[in-house]
Structure 1
Amino acid sequence: MPNPPSRMRGDSSLWPLMSKKHEIVAFSSTAIALYGYDQGMMSLINTNRDYLRTMQLEEESPVVGIIVSVYYLGCAVGSVLASWFADKEGRKPSIFLCLATTSLGNILMLLSGVSMNGSSTWGGGAIGCMLAGRIVMGLGVGGIDAVIPVYSSELSSDGARGRALAQEFQMNIFGLLMAYSINLGVTLGLGKEDQWAWRIPIVVMQLFPLLLMSLISRLPETPRWFISKDRREDAKAALEDMHGKKEAKSKLEELQKAQDEESNEKVGYKDMLLPGGSQFHPTMVTVMGQVNQALTGYGAVSVYGPQIFELLGFGVRNAEFLTLGNYISYFIMMTVAWMSIDVLGRRKLMVWGAVGLSTCFTLLTIFGGLATIGSIPDLAVEIPGSFILFVATAIFGVGWLATVWLIPTEIYPSTARAQGSAVSVIIWGLANFAVTLLTPIGFNNLKFWLFLVFAATNCFAGWWTWSYSPESGGRSFEENQEFFDSAREERSWAVRKVDSGKFEVMPSKKEDDGEGGERNPLLGRSEN
C-alpha cells in the first residue's frame, strides 16, 4: 500500500505528552524550518573568502546573488510537481519525496569544490555543482512549502488554522536563527579562510530531512485525501487516530458529504490563471499576496542582514553579532504573530505591517545617509539605526510572514487548494528570485538609497492589500466564497465596495452565529 494509515492511538507517540494533533504541528513546523535554515545558512556563506575562491568569484560579483536566487526557481518548479504528486499519491508520499530531494540538493552543495587539503582543483565544476545543489534543494523545499500548509490545514481543528500556521513559521525563524548561529560560531572558530566554516552549516542541515523522513510514517494521511480516493476505511482510521471513535463517525459523514458535493467541480490551472476562470479572482489575491510580501524587502534583509548593518556604519564582526541579535528578536516576536492572527485578522496585520515597514525603511534611509557624514558621531547613527532595523524585523514577522501563506488555504475550494498553494509558492519563488538577485546589485550601486526603494514598495503593498485583499479569517469556506461571488456580480474587486464592505474586517461573534473564530473548511465544525 503506497499510503498506509498511521499507527493508532494506543501506540506510543513520537514525543511523550504530545497528542497526535501536536505531533502534526511539530512535524509541520520542523519541515517549514528548512526554508528559514537556508536563509541563515547563506547569509554568512556569501562572505566566506574560501567559498568565494572555491567558486572563483569576487565578493561583489552578481553571480553571488545568482547562486542564492536560483534556489527560488527550483522552489517554483518543485511546488508544481509536489502539488500534483500530493493530489495523485497523497500528502505524505509527496512530503517524503520532497524531503529526500532536499537532502540530495544539500549533499551536492556540501560536495561543491570539496578538497581535503583545502585547495580546490574543481575549477568551474565547483560553481556548477553548487548551482545544481541549490536548484535541487529548491525543488524539495518548494514542494514542502506547497504541501505542508495544505497538509496542516486539512488536519487543523476549528479556530486554530491561523495560530497553527503562524507557529509553524515561528519554527521557520528558529531554522534561520539556528543556521546563522552555527554559521557565526564556526566562522569565529575557524575564520573566513577555512572551507569547513561554510561546509559545516550546510551538512548540519541534513538533520532536518533525515529526522523528518524517519518520523513521517507515524503521522496520519489527511482523511480528506483518503475520501477523495474512495478509501473510506482508511479515512475512518485516520479520523479515529486524531479524534477518537466517538467523533470520527460524524466527521467521516461530513467529509463524505463534502466530497459528494464537490465531485463534479474539477478545477484546473486554466480556471485559476485565465481571466474569466472560476478561480481567477482568488488566484490574483494569492499572487499579489506573495508579490507584496517580496516587495516588503524583508527576504533580502534576511539573507543580507550583515551587509545592512555595515551600511549603518558597523564593522564586519559587530554587524554579524547584531544580525544574530536581530534574528533572536525575530523569533521571539513571532509569538505575537500566532497570538494575534486569529484575533485581529490577516488583512489588518498586513496593511499596518506595510505602513510600519515603509516608515522604518524611510528612517533607515535617513540614518544610512547620516552614516556617510564624518562629522556625526558613529553611535548617533548606529544605535537608532539598529533599533529601527530590529523593529522592522518584528513588524514583518507579525504582519507578513505567515499571513500570505495562510490566505490560499482559506479562499479556495478543496478541489483547488493544492493548486492554489502551488501557485503561491511559484510566485513566492519567482518574486524572491528577483529580489535576492537584485539586492546585492542594489547594495553595491545604491547603498543606503535601497532602503528608500523598499519604503516605496511597502507603500504599494499596503495600498493593494487595503484595496483588494478580503479578510478571510473567522469565516468558513462558504462564507469566503460569498466575497468572490459578490465581486463577480458587482463587477468590482474593491473590498470596500463588495457586499457593502463586509469583508474589510473579521466577523463579530454575533455574525458568526455565536461560534467566534474560524472554521475548518475540510473537517467542518469541531465538536471538541
Structure 2
Amino acid sequence: MLGVPRYFGLRGNALNLAISWIAGLDFLLFGYDQGVTGGLLDLPSFTKYFPDIDPESVEGTLKADRETNQGIAVAAYNLGCFLGAVFTIFVGNPLGRKKTIFFGSVIMTVGAILQCTSYQLPQFIVGRIVTGWGNGMNTSTVPTWQSETAQAHQRGKLVMIEGMLITAGITISYWINYGFAWIGESEVAWRFPLAFQIFFALIIFGGILNLPESPRWLVMQGRDEEAIEVLVALNEKPPEDPFIKNEFQSVKLTVLEMSKGSYRSLFEMSDYREFHRVSLAYINQMFQQISGINLITYYAPKLFKKINLSQNNYPKLLSACNGTEYFLASLIPIFIIERVGRRKLMLFGAAGMSLSMVALAITLWALDNGHPSGGPGQAVFLFVFNTFFAIGWLGMTWLYPAEIVPLRIRAPTNALSTSANWIFNFLVVMITPIAFNNIGYQTYIIFAVINAFIFPVVFFFFPETRYRSLEEMDDIFKKSTNLFNAVTNSLNEPHRYDKNGQLKSEYIAEFEQNERVRESVYEKPDSSHSSS
C-alpha cells in the first residue's frame, strides 16, 4: 500500500486498538449525521435556498405542507440507511467486511458533497438519501467486522462503547451548529457543518483497507492461510502457538455452524425456537426507535425553540448541552451492563422514558396555555428522557439481538433486525413535525403510552442474557414451551460461566465432551475424503 507497512506496522493490542478506532469513528460519524441537520433548519441562510421546508414563516395549510416537506427532507437520510442496510444483505458477503465499509464511506462522502453544494431541495434530499445509503452499509457491517476481529471477552464492552460514540457524534454536531450559528447570514453556517462529515469518512476509507479482514469471512471464502495470518497479527503469537490453532479451529467450527442457517430458518419453530428468538431481536430494535428518541435527536433545536428561548441562539446552545449530557449518560452502561444485566437496564429505561414523556406532555400543554413555568420543565425533561434512553436502550439493541439468536441464523437476523431500526427511525423522524403541527402536546402522550407498553413486554417476554453463552441460550429456549417461560428459565437456570467469563468447574467435563463431538462432526468430511 504505497510503501505503508501492512496493518501500519501494528500487531497485538495496538492493532486491536486501531480496528476499534476506525470502527468507533464510523459510529461517531453515524451520530454526527443524525444530529447535524436539526440545527440548520431555522438558519436564514439555509431557508433562503430551501423555503419549502421552513414552516415557521407561514400559517394555515401552507404551514402543514411545509411541515410535511421538512419531515420528508430530514427523514430521507433514514430511508437511505434502510436501503443501504438491505443492500448490504446481498453485497456484504461477496465484498467482505473491509470493502463494504470502504465503499460505504465513499458513498457517504458523495452524499455529503451533494448536500453541502445544494441550491435546490431535490438535490439536498438526494444527498440525504445517498449519505444514508452509505451509513446503512457501514452500520450493518462495522459491528460484525469489529466483533469478528476482537478478543471474545471485550465484545460486550466494545458494543456499548459504540453506542456511546453515537452520542459523541451527536454532541459534536450540536456544538458545531451552535458555533457556526453566530456567523450571521453567511452560507458557511450550514454548508460547513454538512461538509464536515467528509472529514470522518476520509479517515475511515483512507485507513480501512490496510487493516485486517475478518478471519471468519476469510475462512468462509476458503482463504484459511490468510485467516491464520490475521489471527497471528491480532494476537501477536506465532502460527504454531496452541492458542492460534485453537482459535482457528473455533472460527472454522463457527463458519460450519453458520453455514447451516438460511433466511428460511428465521421462520422455523424447531427445538431452538428460531422464529421466537428472531421476533425478540426485531422487536428489540423496533422498540429503540418507537421510544421517541429521534424526535429529540433530530429536532432538539426546534423543540427548545418552543419554550420561548429563540434569542441569542439559545435553542442551539441548549441542544449542545443536551447532547453533552446525553454523551455523559451513555458512559454509565459501559461500566454496569454486566453487573446489572440487560433486562433491568431495559426496564429502567422504559419506565423512565414513559414518565419523562408524560412530564413533557404536561409542560408543553402548560406552555401552550399561557403558563411560562412550562418552559423550564420542558427543557429539563428533554434532558431527563435522553438520560434514561442512554442508560437503558442506546447500546442495548446492538448487543441483545446478537446474544438472543442461535449462531446459525445470527447473520440474517442481524440484517433483518437492523432494517427494523432504520425503517422505524424513518417513521418517527417523518411524522414528528406533522404530529406537533396537528396535535401538539399529545405527540408526547403517544410516546408515553408506547414506552409504558414496552415495560411489560420486556418484563414478560425478554429473557436475561447476562453471563450466558450462545449454547446456554439454546438450552434455555429448548426448555421453553411457550412465549412466557423463556424469561423464567433464563432467571432460574444455573449459570455455567462466572462473572469473569470463566467456565465453572462443574461444567468443564461437559464442555470438553461437547467440544469433542463438535470437532468430530467437523472433521468427519475430511477423513472420509482422505479415505476415498
The equivalent of 2:357 in structure 1 is 361
The answer on 1:66 being equivalent to 2:62 is no
The equivalent of 1:309 in structure 2 is 304
The equivalent of 2:163 in structure 1 is 169
Counterparts of 1:387-402 in structure 2, within 5 Å, are 387-402=380-395
The equivalent of 1:157 in structure 2 is 151
Partner secondary structure for residue 141 of structure 2: helix
CA separation of 1:222/1:391 partners in 2, compared to 1, >3 Å: closer, same or farther?
Answer: same
2-structure distance, mates of 1:384, 1:64: 27
1-structure distance, mates of 2:22, 2:140: 15
CA shift digits 1:411-433 (9 cap, x unpaired): 33444333222212211111011
4+ long deviations beyond 6 Å: 274-278
Residue from 222, 227, 233 that aligns with 2:225: 233
CA separation of 1:434/1:261 partners in 2, compared to 1, >3 Å: closer, same or farther?
Answer: closer
Residue from 37, 44, 50 that aligns with 2:45: 50
Q: CA deviation at 1:402?
A: 0.8
CA separation of 1:278/1:480 partners in 2, compared to 1, >3 Å: closer, same or farther?
Answer: closer
> Max radius of gyration: which structure?
2
Partner secondary structure for residue 46 of structure 1: coil
1-structure distance, mates of 2:74, 2:501: 39
The equivalent of 1:147 in structure 2 is 141
Does the aligned pair in 2 maintain the 1:299–1:432 contact within 8 Å? yes
Partner secondary structure for residue 512 of structure 1: coil
2-structure distance, mates of 1:205, 1:370: 39
The equivalent of 1:408 in structure 2 is 401
1-structure distance, mates of 2:19, 2:446: 40
Q: CA deviation at 1:74?
A: 1.4
Residue from 256, 274, 280 that aligns with 2:275: 280
2-structure distance, mates of 1:260, 1:372: 61
Partner secondary structure for residue 41 of structure 1: helix
Counterparts of 1:500-515 in structure 2, within 5 Å, are 501-504=488-491, 511-514=495-498
The equivalent of 2:524 in structure 1 is none
2-structure distance, mates of 1:504, 1:310: 46
2-structure distance, mates of 1:275, 1:45: 49
Does the aligned pair in 2 maintain the 1:309–1:319 contact within 8 Å? yes
Residue from 314, 320, 326 that aligns with 1:324: 320
CA separation of 1:241/1:131 partners in 2, compared to 1, >3 Å: closer, same or farther?
Answer: same
The answer on 1:220 being equivalent to 2:216 is no
CA shift digits 1:43-70 (9 cap, x unpaired): 1122223323323415221111101112
1-structure distance, mates of 2:491, 2:153: 19
Does the aligned pair in 1 maintain the 2:355–2:448 contact within 8 Å? yes
Does the aligned pair in 2 maintain the 1:45–1:51 contact within 8 Å? yes
TM-score by length of 2: 0.85
CA separation of 1:517/1:354 partners in 2, compared to 1, >3 Å: closer, same or farther?
Answer: farther
The equivalent of 1:211 in structure 2 is 203
Counterparts of 1:129-148 in structure 2, within 5 Å, are 129-148=123-142
CA separation of 1:81/1:235 partners in 2, compared to 1, >3 Å: closer, same or farther?
Answer: same
TM-score by length of 1: 0.85
Larger proportion of helix: 2
Q: CA deviation at 1:237?
A: 0.7
Alignment RMSD (CA, Å): 2.5
2-structure distance, mates of 1:32, 1:347: 24
Could you tell me which runs of 5 or more consecutive residues in structure 1 were left unpaired when the two chains were aligned. Answer: 114-125
Counterparts of 1:28-39 in structure 2, within 5 Å, are 28-39=23-34
- Letter of the structure 2 residue corresponding to residue 236 of structure 1: I
- Letter of the structure 2 residue corresponding to residue 250 of structure 1: N
The equivalent of 2:86 in structure 1 is 80
Q: Which moved more, 1:311-320 or 1:212-221?
A: 311-320
Does the aligned pair in 1 maintain the 2:463–2:488 contact within 8 Å? no
The equivalent of 2:180 in structure 1 is 186
2-structure distance, mates of 1:363, 1:30: 35
Counterparts of 1:248-263 in structure 2, within 5 Å, are 248-263=244-259
1-structure distance, mates of 2:340, 2:354: 21
CA separation of 1:504/1:80 partners in 2, compared to 1, >3 Å: closer, same or farther?
Answer: farther
The answer on 1:475 being equivalent to 2:459 is no
CA separation of 1:235/1:72 partners in 2, compared to 1, >3 Å: closer, same or farther?
Answer: same
Q: CA deviation at 1:211?
A: 0.5
1-structure distance, mates of 2:431, 2:267: 27
Q: How many residues are aligned here?
A: 484
Q: CA deviation at 1:395?
A: 1.0
2-structure distance, mates of 1:273, 1:432: 24
Could you tell me which runs of 5 or more consecutive residues in structure 2 were left unpaired when the two chains were aligned. Answer: 56-65, 504-514, 516-532
Does the aligned pair in 2 maintain the 1:82–1:98 contact within 8 Å? no
The answer on 1:340 being equivalent to 2:336 is yes
Identity among equivalent positions (%) equals: 27
Does the aligned pair in 2 maintain the 1:475–1:512 contact within 8 Å? yes
Does the aligned pair in 2 maintain the 1:70–1:131 contact within 8 Å? yes
The equivalent of 1:122 in structure 2 is none
CA separation of 1:387/1:103 partners in 2, compared to 1, >3 Å: closer, same or farther?
Answer: same
Q: Which moved more, 1:384-393 or 1:140-149?
A: 384-393
1-structure distance, mates of 2:52, 2:178: 21
CA shift digits 1:245-285 (9 cap, x unpaired): 2432221122223334554x1312x3325788973222211
CA shift digits 1:100-134 (9 cap, x unpaired): 11111111112211xxxxxxxxxxxx222112111
Counterparts of 1:86-105 in structure 2, within 5 Å, are 86-105=92-111
CA separation of 1:517/1:334 partners in 2, compared to 1, >3 Å: closer, same or farther?
Answer: farther
